Amino acid sequence: GAVVSQHPSWVICKSGTSVKIECRSLDFQATTMFWYRQFPKQSLMLMATSNEGSKATYEQGVEKDKFLINHASLTLSTLTVTSAHPEDSSFYICSAPTSDMNTEAFFGQGTRLTVV
């Protein structure tokens, strides 16, 4: 089956620093990837749609200057949390649909970000 790999699995950073999270499609190309944020015991909140070769589309209320998304290739999207604050601590998950299953999504393992 399709595999989406996310790295790192967890990261601890100091307030004010930036953190980059990578999302890779390992055995398929993804022109679109999605970034979600999840709080404990809650569902996924879509943050933005990452589009290969063009600007990401952000959901309402998500600061695009704070959460920088780059989709430089057909297999890699990155989410950079800039000037991180403790309230940015969360579980971040990416997903990608495969080309031949137009709505099914495969998710990365998630990244636990803790800002201290």
Question: Residues 14, 53, 86, 103: which binds another protein (CB under 8 A)?
Answer: 103
- Joined tokens for residue 10: 């967890």
Question: Residues 21, 56, 93, 115: which binds another protein (CB under 8 A)?
Answer: 93
Residues in 29-88 at the binding interface with another protein, rule: CB under 8 A: 32, 34, 41-44, 46, 49
Q: Does 11 bind another protein (CB under 8 A)?
A: no
Closer CB to another protein, 38 or 80, in the complex = 38
Do the Cβ atoms of 54 and 60 come closer than 8 Å?
no
Do the Cβ atoms of 81 and 87 come closer than 8 Å?
no
Query: Coil, strand or helix: which one is 87?
Result: helix
CA distance readout (Å), 58 to 40, 47, 86, 102: 22, 6, 21, 21
Closer CB to another protein, 75 or 95, in the complex = 95
Binding site for another protein (CB under 8 A): 4, 6, 32, 34, 41-44, 46, 49, 91, 93, 95, 97, 101-110, 112
